[in-house]
Amino acid sequence: MHSVANAQPNRRNNNHSSVVSDLMSLIDHMQASMKLIERVIASELPLGDQETNENVVVLDDVTPCYLKANAALHTCRAGLEVTLHFLTSAETMIAASRQSGGMAGSDRRPARFV
């Protein structure tokens, strides 16, 4: 028979694993989107070998939008990677604390990352 005390760490581990898995999936999805945007930008850039006519002006209103979107995705991915690092570090600290018998002599709870 499992006690409530034993069930809580398992639920916490499942929740933690679920969050970490979701973050990793988001990072992978964002990376794929960034590669797609980079391919679109590269396909729209003029080729270096081709001579350009000095009388032709190309107004490209789409590329700046892609560049801004790609920069926003890079920033978002960096934030997600930091979040993932905090979560994995926190779980490592909690596991080490459990192995050493908890926080001996302390009634403080582990810090929560929000």
- pTM value surpassing 0.85: no
Instruction: Give the integer Cα–Cα distance in Å for 97 and 86.
Output: 16
Q: Specify if 72 maps to a domain.
A: yes
Q: Specify if 80 maps to a domain.
A: yes
**Shortest CA distance to 79 belongs to which of 29, 21, 23?**
23
Burial (CB < 10 A; 0-12, 13-18, 19+), residue 76, is middle
Q: Specify if 71 maps to a domain.
A: yes
Q: Specify if 81 maps to a domain.
A: yes
When divided into structural domains, the chain yields a total of 1
Instruction: Give the integer Cα–Cα distance in Å for 19 and 23.
Output: 6
- Mean pLDDT of the residues in the chain: 75
Q: Specify if 67 maps to a domain.
A: yes
Q: Specify if 36 maps to a domain.
A: no
Indicate whether 81 pLDDT > 60: yes
C-beta separation of 7 from 39 below 8 A: no
- Domain range for 67: 60-96
Render pLDDT for 3-52 as a digit per residue (tens, 0 to 9): 544 556 677 678 888 989 999 999 999 999 999 998 988 887 665 545 55
**Residue 90: its pLDDT value, please?**
79
Instruction: Give the integer Cα–Cα distance in Å for 54 and 69.
Output: 30
Four-residue CA torsion sign, 9, 88, 21, 68 = positive
Per-residue pLDDT, averaged over 44-70, amounts to 66
Q: Specify if 29 maps to a domain.
A: no
Q: Specify if 90 maps to a domain.
A: yes
**Residue 91: its pLDDT value, please?**
77
